[in-house]
Protein backbone atom coordinates (compact mmCIF):
# COMPACT_ATOMS: atom_id res chain seq x y z
CA UNK A 1 0.00 0.00 0.00
CA UNK A 2 1.30 3.41 -0.91
CA UNK A 3 2.24 5.87 1.79
CA UNK A 4 -0.42 8.28 0.59
CA UNK A 5 -3.12 5.59 0.86
CA UNK A 6 -1.95 4.65 4.34
CA UNK A 7 -2.08 8.28 5.44
CA UNK A 8 -5.56 8.57 3.98
CA UNK A 9 -6.67 5.45 5.90
CA UNK A 10 -5.13 6.78 9.12
CA UNK A 11 -6.95 10.07 8.65
CA UNK A 12 -10.23 8.16 8.26
CA UNK A 13 -9.55 6.15 11.40
CA UNK A 14 -8.68 9.35 13.28
CA UNK A 15 -11.94 10.93 12.15
CA UNK A 16 -13.89 7.88 13.37
CA UNK A 17 -12.13 8.07 16.73
CA UNK A 18 -12.89 11.78 17.03
CA UNK A 19 -16.54 11.14 16.24
CA UNK A 20 -16.65 8.35 18.81
CA UNK A 21 -14.95 10.54 21.41
CA UNK A 22 -17.50 13.28 20.81
CA UNK A 23 -20.29 10.72 21.26
CA UNK A 24 -18.72 9.43 24.49
CA UNK A 25 -18.37 12.99 25.82
CA UNK A 26 -22.02 13.59 25.07
CA UNK A 27 -23.05 10.38 26.83
CA UNK A 28 -20.84 11.29 29.82
CA UNK A 29 -22.54 14.69 30.06
CA UNK A 30 -25.97 13.06 29.95
CA UNK A 31 -24.95 10.56 32.64
CA UNK A 32 -23.50 13.31 34.86
CA UNK A 33 -26.72 15.21 34.50
CA UNK A 34 -28.75 12.14 35.38
CA UNK A 35 -26.45 11.45 38.33
CA UNK A 36 -26.97 14.96 39.69
CA UNK A 37 -30.70 14.57 39.28
CA UNK A 38 -30.67 11.24 41.15
CA UNK A 39 -28.53 12.73 43.94
CA UNK A 40 -31.11 15.48 44.30
CA UNK A 41 -33.88 12.92 44.46
CA UNK A 42 -32.00 10.95 47.12
CA UNK A 43 -31.60 14.08 49.22
CA UNK A 44 -35.40 14.40 49.18
CA UNK A 45 -35.53 11.03 50.96
CA UNK A 46 -32.93 11.94 53.58
CA UNK A 47 -35.59 11.80 56.27
CA UNK A 48 -36.53 8.25 55.31
CA UNK A 49 -35.15 5.31 57.23
CA UNK A 50 -32.01 4.55 55.17
CA UNK A 51 -31.58 1.07 56.68
CA UNK A 52 -35.09 0.20 55.49
CA UNK A 53 -34.22 1.39 51.98
CA UNK A 54 -31.01 -0.68 51.98
CA UNK A 55 -32.93 -3.69 53.28
CA UNK A 56 -35.54 -3.30 50.53
CA UNK A 57 -32.77 -3.00 47.94
CA UNK A 58 -31.19 -6.23 49.20
CA UNK A 59 -34.50 -8.06 48.97
CA UNK A 60 -35.09 -6.81 45.42
CA UNK A 61 -31.56 -7.79 44.42
CA UNK A 62 -31.93 -11.24 45.95
CA UNK A 63 -35.24 -11.89 44.21
CA UNK A 64 -33.83 -10.72 40.84
CA UNK A 65 -30.85 -13.08 41.27
CA UNK A 66 -33.23 -15.92 42.14
CA UNK A 67 -35.22 -15.16 38.99
CA UNK A 68 -32.03 -15.28 36.88
CA UNK A 69 -31.04 -18.59 38.49
CA UNK A 70 -34.49 -19.98 37.77
CA UNK A 71 -34.30 -18.87 34.11
CA UNK A 72 -30.87 -20.44 33.74
CA UNK A 73 -32.05 -23.73 35.32
CA UNK A 74 -34.96 -23.72 32.86
CA UNK A 75 -32.44 -23.63 30.02
CA UNK A 76 -32.19 -19.98 29.03
CA UNK A 77 -29.13 -17.77 28.73
CA UNK A 78 -28.93 -15.00 31.30
CA UNK A 79 -25.62 -13.61 30.03
CA UNK A 80 -25.64 -10.25 28.27
CA UNK A 81 -24.76 -11.44 24.78
CA UNK A 82 -27.32 -14.27 24.54
CA UNK A 83 -29.91 -13.25 27.12
CA UNK A 84 -33.21 -15.05 26.71
CA UNK A 85 -32.09 -17.48 24.02
CA UNK A 86 -32.20 -21.22 24.64
CA UNK A 87 -28.96 -22.58 26.11
CA UNK A 88 -27.70 -25.96 25.02
CA UNK A 89 -25.56 -27.06 27.95
CA UNK A 90 -23.45 -24.98 30.29
CA UNK A 91 -22.54 -21.38 29.44
CA UNK A 92 -19.46 -19.97 31.13
CA UNK A 93 -20.76 -16.40 30.85
CA UNK A 94 -24.05 -17.31 32.53
CA UNK A 95 -22.20 -19.23 35.27
CA UNK A 96 -19.94 -16.23 35.76
CA UNK A 97 -22.94 -13.94 36.18
CA UNK A 98 -24.50 -16.24 38.76
CA UNK A 99 -21.24 -16.54 40.69
CA UNK A 100 -20.73 -12.76 40.54
CA UNK A 101 -24.26 -12.26 41.85
CA UNK A 102 -23.61 -14.65 44.74
CA UNK A 103 -20.37 -12.83 45.58
CA UNK A 104 -22.15 -9.46 45.53
CA UNK A 105 -24.88 -10.84 47.77
CA UNK A 106 -22.32 -12.15 50.29
CA UNK A 107 -20.56 -8.77 50.31
CA UNK A 108 -23.89 -7.02 50.88
CA UNK A 109 -24.84 -9.31 53.73
CA UNK A 110 -21.45 -8.68 55.33
CA UNK A 111 -21.87 -4.94 54.96
CA UNK A 112 -19.00 -4.52 52.51
CA UNK A 113 -19.28 -1.91 49.81
CA UNK A 114 -19.94 -3.05 46.27
CA UNK A 115 -17.42 -2.59 43.49
Residue 65 Cβ vs Zn ion, minimum distance, rounded to whole Å: 15
Q: What share of the chain is helix, strand, coil (3-state, %, to 5)?
A: 75, 0, 25
Backbone angles phi, psi at 111, to 5 degrees: 75, 20
Residue 97 Cβ vs Zn ion, minimum distance, rounded to whole Å: 8
User: Please, which residue, 4 or 86, has the CB nearer to Zn ion?
Assistant: 86
Q: How far apart are CA 109 and CA 76, in angstroms?
A: 28
Q: Which range touches Zn ion (CB under 5 A), out of 7-15, 47-55, 60-68, 82-90?
A: 82-90
- Residue 68 contacts Zn ion per CB under 5 A: no
- Residue 91 contacts Zn ion per CB under 5 A: yes
Q: According to CB under 5 A, which one of 62, 82, 98, 108 is a site residue for Zn ion? A: 82
Q: According to CB under 5 A, which one of 68, 72, 79, 101 is a site residue for Zn ion? A: 79
Neighbours of 70 (CB within 10 A): 11
- Residue 83 contacts Zn ion per CB under 5 A: no
Instruction: Collect all residues with Cβ–Cβ distance below 8 Å to 68 and sequence separation of at least 6.
Output: 78, 97, 98, 101
Amino acid sequence: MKLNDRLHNMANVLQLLQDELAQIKLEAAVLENENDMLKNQISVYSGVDISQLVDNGSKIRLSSRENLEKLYKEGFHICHSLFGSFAEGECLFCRGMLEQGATDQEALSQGQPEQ
